[in-house]
Amino acid sequence: MTVNSTHAMEAEAQFKIAQRAGGGGGGGQHLGSNKSLEVAGKEIADAADDETTVLLANKNFHFDTASELDEAFVELNGISAEEAMAASAEEPDNHTDQQHNPVTWLNDYEIDTLDLATLDIGNMFNRVDSQDIIYQQKKKNLKMVGKYVMGDVLGEGSYGKVKEAMDSENLCRLAVKILTKRKLRRIPNGEQNVTREIHLLKQLKHQNVVSLIDVLYNNEKQKMYLVMEYCVGGLQEMLDYAPNKKMPLFQAHGYFKQLVDGLEYLHGCRVIHKDIKPGNLLLTLDQTLKISDFGVAEQLDLFAPDDTCTTGQGSPAFQPPEIANGHETFSGYKVDIWSTGVTLYNLVTGLYPFEGDNIFRLLENIGRSQWVAPDWLFELDANFANLVLGMLQADPNKRLSLQQIRKDHWFISAPEVTGPPIPIPPLKGDEIRRSTVLPYLEAYHYGNEQEQEDVYFTEHDVNQQLAQRAAAAAAEIRAQQAAAAASALEPSTSAAAAALANGNREETASKKKGSSLKRRAKKLTSCISVRKLSHCRTS
Amino acid sequence: MFGNTLSDYKIISVLGKQNGKFCTVYMGKCGSPNYSIAIKKLCLEKTEDKELQNISDEIILTRQFRHPNINSILHSFVCNSDVYIITPFMWFRSCEDLLENLFPTGFSEPLIALILRDVLAALIYIHKNGIIHGSIKAGHILLDKKKAVLTCFRESRCFINHGKNSFVIRGISSGHKDIINWTAPEVLDQNLNGFTEKCDLYSIGIACCEIANGIKPYSEAQPTFMFTEKTRGNVPSLLDQSTCFHLMEEEGTIQFGTLTRKHEIYSQRIFSDEMHQFAEICLNRNPLNRWSAEKSITHSFFKQCRYTSISDQLQYTVLNLQDPFKIEDGALENTEESKNRFEDEPWDF
């Protein structure tokens, strides 16, 4: 990857605006809204907050939004709300006045607030010129939460961000899941799920289950911090990065064995995970697999006669037929077996046993009939095909149990090592995944030694950069495709197109995280595609 | 030879306590030839599960070693709710104790060479067996009249991961506050590059400075600062004539009684170029540029070991400590005496 971290971050922020605004405007259909924007002077206000990334040079943006929001803005600006309102009311669309317009500083959470406000209004949508969104290079200000030094963002989920951190006393690398109450309230059962997750994680202690180290609360900021052990990447991430989105058989075997170990422990603790999928399986530095995300997990009552469950809220593509068909009750442990089977199949082949154009079709397909293992799977490895088939039995009673899996031929075999395993993808260009906390510590301990000028750049710049990269990547892909087409006998056109799209995505993803914009935008519009369902969650 | 109950052993005195109240070390005797032993008592009830696992791993591992420079475990047993670990009695206990009680400004160069040579011999042995010690420091080097031995394999790591032998070890550092100051930067980095057995050589470098200066490394720095310093390649130095003046100039006005006296000693003594070079090689930021244990032991710094031995070097102390059973009582007085002696007599190397 060539783009530095700040760019990636900015691109995310940038996307956020586009997305949120689109949502507020009813799917981005109101782009033609006549409230055009004036270009504001890029006056630099002093930003004390280290999280400040986005400048909206447009005070008109939320001209008539909820008042609390405006107040928040104006506090940042140092002018009163009335003044701002009056000013914008007086001269809307006045380009001559641009030099005097103040710049509005937005923090990440304020962007979210924007969203809320926009949602309230419903129809309002503002067009923001890309030149007017100004980004500032992040300052590396040391931020401590308790005794933990915070680093860069590792990922972002629906609940909030996951940041890297370091224990300032023993220098262990950690991951911190930051949950904001506001975001939790937006998710159905959000707070309930989190409380359950914390409760569960506190009891669980196993090599293959992600361990919770600490929980911190900040009542002022309405935030909750879950300090967990550091994982260097997830299986989904590795698959996305790998060619054909699959891994060699022997590598999958290694992870599968650990997954079964972890699952056996969980089931022994009466815990049903219900959301086993590559995205929830993480890896530590030494390639130990960790089962994570217990948001929808359920712990059976100590006196429950059997493992009967009534609710399932996992990812659709990994749901067993009994949930797809909407059975009232079903066996909990067998749900995990099914998803483990889908996961294993997905790791090795890059495919899903059931697909569908949309979630309903998908669930219909899952529920309709017994899965039949394709012939080529038997050719690949007959033992493997049999194991997957055994785990993907539509009838829960026929489905293998963990004990049976342990005795399976493929499970106890040691598949031949064929070539190198697929690697953990680099994070923002860093192949060895250095600690992102270190730059913060350096800045803190050595202070102003290499202090740089504040760097500002506009969204326009970012977009142009993105476009250039995408063009370069596309050209590369085209060249590759041409070469491939020349050598191989022509594949079916649709497959070629898919490969092109895939390759393209990978290329851009590997080149820059900035393309997350593109990726997520895609997700927004095409929640229908099965591929992406693994990231979604039914409510 | 060793019994499984406490009554088989005669406890003579308490040598010290570690980790607060849960670990006590006794000096004892056992058997007909009146073999002197150290008995380590660990309270099981008050230790965490993880710690218990570590203890049993350590015992299992250490019992597999057969090397003169590795402190062997003669026996271990559980009695009531305590684990007892029987090891041979080491006359001078750990280097850390010696430094604290008798050598506030560090050991003499020949003694350092003797100690490090023995530690390196032990390291060659364990590295050949695919084990990394992981926590070499003065406190984990015990001294006998004849040799130095390496102890405490609690932080040891093995090259075998998930049933496969690998060339590097990756993972999160175990994060023991007591040892991170000695840990190599590549271990603290905790990234996908991982680390190799060379990390022990870095710890030797730090321990070398520790026993030469009598100062615990980074004792006053924040751990995070220690980390960034190591990442930048800044390391502690051997304090002698060549380095001490810089230090005094930098620090300017240190006029406390003990500190100045220490500084005087530092600024008067001279460590050989070989020793400086040895420490420099060990403390190289890049593990690839560090020498392996096997190569290190051939360094010219260890030439001086040929005509001397630990008992020669410690004969003053030996004279003072005729009766090992009085270590506890005598320790304080000896400290005063030795301090005076150091002031009166110039160092002879």
**pLDDT surpassing 90 at residue B275:** yes
* B90-119: burial string, b at 16+ Cβ within 10 Å, e else: bbbbbbbbbbbbbbbbbbbbbbbbbbbbbb
Q: How far apart are CA A410 and CA A408, in angstroms?
A: 6
Per-residue model confidence as pLDDT tens digits over A287-316: 999 999 898 899 999 998 888 888 888 889
Domain identity same for B36 and B178: no
Question: Between A171, A431, A433, which is nearest B223 by CB?
Answer: A171
How far is residue A17's CA from residue A169's CA, in Å, rounded to a whole number? 38
For residue B13, give both structure tokens: 């005195």
| Residue A407, marked binder | no
Q: What is the pLDDT of residue B294?
A: 93
Q: Are residues B173 and B57 in the same domain?
A: no
Residue A51 to residue A58: CA distance in whole angstroms: 19
Is A230 within 8 Å of B227 when comparing Cβ atoms?
no
| Residue B211 C-alpha from the chain's centroid | 8
Q: Is the pLDDT of residue A272 over 90?
A: yes
State the pairing for strand pair B82-88/B35-43: antiparallel
Termini Cα distance of chain A: 36
A482 versus A185: the higher-pLDDT residue is A185
Between β-strands A330-331 and A308-309, what pairing exists: parallel, antiparallel or unpaired? antiparallel
**E strands in chain B:** 9-18, 23-30, 35-43, 75-79, 82-88, 131-132, 141-143, 148-150, 157-158, 160-161, 164-165
Q: Are residues B81 and B100 both part of a single domain?
A: no
B349 within some domain: no
**The predicted structure's pLDDT at residue A427:** 85
Min CA distance, A177 vs chain B (Å)?
18
Give bridge partners of residue B94 from the DSSP assignment. Answer: B142
Domain formed by A144-232, architecture: 2-Layer Sandwich (3.30)
Closest Cβ opposite residue A168 in set B169, B194, B223: B223
Whether B192 and A435 lie within 8 Å, measured CB to CB: no
Q: List the structure tokens of B213.
A: 């200066």
Question: Residues of B numbered 42-61 whose beta carbons fall under 8 angstroms of chain A's beta carbons: which are they?
Answer: 49
Q: Are B285 and B233 in contact (CB under 8 A)?
A: yes
Q: Is the pLDDT of residue A491 over 80?
A: no
> Is residue B160, in this structure, part of any structural domain at all?
yes
Which of B88, B106, B121 represents a domain boundary (last residue)?
B88
Provide, rounded to the nearest whole percent, the portion of chain A with pLDDT above 70: 63
Question: What is the per-residue pLDDT for A353?
Answer: 94
Asked if residue B280 and residue B249 are part of one domain, the reply reads yes
Q: Is the pLDDT of residue A515 over 50?
A: no
Crossing angle, helix A382-391 and helix A332-349, to 10 degrees? 150
Pair of tokens at residue A339: 């998803």
The shortest CB-CB distance from A172 to any of B169, B173, B189 is to B173
The span from the CA of B101 to the CA of B93, in Å, is 11
> Which residue has better confidence, B170 or A26?
B170
Q: Is residue B144 part of a domain?
A: yes
Contact across the interface for A286 and B180, Cβ inside 8 Å: no
- Whether B161 and B295 map to the same domain: the answer is yes
Res. A404: pLDDT tops 60:
yes
Rounded CA separation B302/B113 (Å): 6
Is there a common fold for A144-232 and A238-412? no
Judge whether B87 and B74 are in contact, CB under 8 Å: yes
Ranges of each domain in chain A: 7-139+448-530, 144-232, 238-412
Predicted confidence (pLDDT) per residue in A524-535, tens digit? 333 333 333 334
What 3-state DSSP class applies to A101? coil
pLDDT at A456 over 80: no
CB contact under 8 A, A288 and B191: no
If DSSP codes are grouped into helix, strand and coil, which group holds residue A346? Answer: helix
Determine which of B168, B172, B231 to mutate to test the interface with A (most A C-beta atoms within 10 Å).
B172
Dump pLDDT digits (tens) for A346-402. 999 999 999 888 999 999 999 988 999 999 999 999 999 999 999 999 999 999 999
SS3 category, A65: coil
Nearest to A229 among B161, B172, B176 (CB): B172
Please state the ipTM of this predicted complex. Answer: 0.82
Both structure tokens of A130: 């890309």
The chain A residues in contact with chain B (CB within 8 A) are 149, 166-173, 205, 229-230, 232, 254, 284-288, 424, 431-435, 438, 441-442, 444-446
Using alpha carbons, select from B172, B169, B175 the residue that is nearest to residue B154: B175
Residue A224: CB atoms within 10 Å: 22
SS3 A43: coil
Lowest pLDDT segment from A135-144, A335-344, A350-359, A376-385:
A135-144
Name the packing angle between helices A516-525 and A5-24 (round to 10°): 20
Residues B50 and B149 in one domain: no
Residues B52 and B128 both lie in one domain: no
Mean pLDDT (chain A, rounded): 73
The first and second tokens of residue A517, run together, are 């914009």
pLDDT in the model for residue B273: 92
> Which among A286, A422, A428, A442 is the top mutation candidate for probing chain B, defined by the most B β-carbons within 10 Å of its own β-carbon?
A286
With H, G, I as helix, E, B as strand and everything else as coil, classify residue B58.
helix
Q: Please pick, among A70, A108, A240, A275, the residue that the annotation labels catalytic.
A: A275
pTM greater than 0.80 (yes/no): no
The answer to whether residues B99 and B192 belong to one domain is yes
Q: What is the mean pLDDT of chain B?
A: 82
Q: How many domains does chain B have?
A: 2
* Confidence check: pLDDT of A502 > 80: no
- Is B233 in the A-facing interface, judged by CB distances under 8 Å? no
CA angle A32, A38, A43 (to 5 degrees): 140
Which residues does chain A have within 8 Å of residue B176's beta carbon, measured at their own beta carbons? Answer: 170
What do you get for the CA distance between the two ends of chain B, in Å?
A: 43
In a domain, B110, yes or no: yes
Is A129 catalytic? The answer is no
* Per-residue confidence (pLDDT) for residue A184, from 0 to 100: 86
Query: 3-class SS at B345?
Result: coil
- The residue among B135, B187, B171 whose CA lies nearest residue B156 is B135
Instruction: Find the CATH number of the domain harbouring B66.
Output: 3.30.200.20
Confidence class of residue A340 from pLDDT cuts 50, 70 and 90?
very high
pLDDT higher than threshold 80 for residue B65:
yes
B45 belongs to a structural domain: yes
- Residue B335 belongs to some domain of the structure: no
Least reliable range by pLDDT among A222-236, B81-95, B198-212, B242-256: B242-256
> Which of A72-81, A340-349, B245-254 is least confident?
A72-81
Q: Which domain holds residue B23?
A: 6-88
Q: Considering only CB atoms, which chain B residues are within 8 Å of A431?
A: 192
Segment A265-279 mean pLDDT? 94
Per-residue confidence at A523, pLDDT binned at 50, 70, 90?
very low
Tell me, yes or no, whether B196 and B291 share the same domain.
yes
Residue with tokens 């040929």: B306
- Separation in Å, CA of B185 to nearest CA in chain A: 11
- CATH code of B200's domain: 1.10.510.10
Q: CB-side exposure of A273: number of CA atoms within 13 Å?
A: 29
Chain B residues closer than 8 Å to A444 by CB? 224
Share of chain B above pLDDT 70, in %: 84
Q: What is the pLDDT of residue B230?
A: 92
At A49 the pLDDT is 39
Whether residue A210 is predicted with pLDDT greater than 90 in this model: the reply is yes
pLDDT of residue B326: 45
Q: Is the pLDDT of residue B36 over 60?
A: yes
Question: CB neighbours of A418 closer than 8 A, spacing ≥ 6?
Answer: A248, A249, A250
Cα–Cα dist A352/A96, whole Å:
58
In this predicted structure, what is the pLDDT of residue A40?
A: 35
pLDDT value at residue B32: 65
Residue A446 to residue B190, Cβ atoms within 8 A = no
CA of B201 to nearest chain A CA: how many angstroms apart? 20
Question: Are B125 and B267 contained in the same domain?
Answer: yes
pLDDT at residue number A455: 60
The CATH number of the structural domain formed by A238-412 is 1.10.510.10
DSSP A151: E
Site from A169, A170, A256 to mutate, B interface, most B CB atoms within 10 angstroms: A170
Whether B1 maps to a domain, the answer reads no
Query: Nearest Cα to B136, choosing from B78, B206, B191, B193?
Result: B206
In this predicted structure, which of A2-11, A406-415, A483-492, B6-15 has the lowest mean pLDDT? A2-11
- Does the distance separating the beta carbons of B176 and A230 come in below 8 Å? no
Same domain, B186 and B50: no
Task: Please determine, for residue A462, whether its predicted confidence score (pLDDT) is greater than 70.
Answer: yes
Are residues B278 and B208 in contact, defined by beta-carbon separation less than 8 angstroms?
A: yes
Q: Which residues of A touch B231 (CB under 8 A)?
A: 438, 442
Coil, helix or strand at residue A336? helix
Quick check: B195 contacting A, CB < 8 Å? Answer: no
Give the mutation candidate from A211, A229, A285 for the B interface (greatest B CB count, under 10 A).
Answer: A285
- Cβ-nearest to B172 among A173, A424, A444: A173
Name the phi and psi angles at A290, rounded to 5: -125, 125
Give the residue, A73 or A451, on which the prediction is more confident: A451
User: For residue A86, what pLDDT band results from cuts at 50, 70 and 90?
Assistant: very low
pLDDT at site A130: 74
What percentage of chain B reaches a pLDDT higher than 90? 36
In a domain, B206, yes or no: yes
Give A206 to chain B, closest Cα distance, Å: 11
pLDDT reading at A514 higher than 70: no
Q: Could you report the per-residue pLDDT of B299-332, keeping only the tens digit for each?
A: 999 998 888 888 888 776 655 554 444 444 434 3
Q: Are residues B214 and B298 in the same domain?
A: yes
